[in-house]
Amino acid sequence: MWKFINSLFGLEVDEETETWVKEGAFLVDVRTPEEFNAGHVSGSVNIPLDTISEQLRLFKNKERIVVFCRTGRRSGIAMDFLNKNGIHPVRNGKQWTTINKLVEH
């Protein structure tokens, strides 16, 4: 039931994003360092949204990138910015807690 409710609000990730996570995509948490330190996905890197423009080199030559945050809003902005700057492929993983569940299982 929760999966259905989450899908109504756009909180669930699609199958392709789920596959990417399970196959070892470059996982990027775009929340603030304080948010990241309070809890984060194992193996993810913290590149806050407001520093992405200065950190583009970290995204170069990555096969698959999944960005995420607390609600999916900042990660959506990050994905759009990366795409506009020639960084592909990038998926919006939306909530870090959802990505965390995928990584833990």
Of 25, 52, 67, 69, the active-site residue reads 69
Q: Look up tokens 């929760």; give the residue.
A: 2
5 burial (CB, 10 Å; 0-12 / 13-18 / 19+) is exposed
Q: Please spell the DSSP secondary structure of 25-83, one letter per residue.
A: -EEEE-S-HHHHHHS--TT-EE--GGGGGG-GGGTTT-S-EEEEESSSHHHHHHHHHHH
3-class secondary-structure state, position 3: helix
Active site residue 101: no
Any idea which residues carry the catalytic annotation?
69
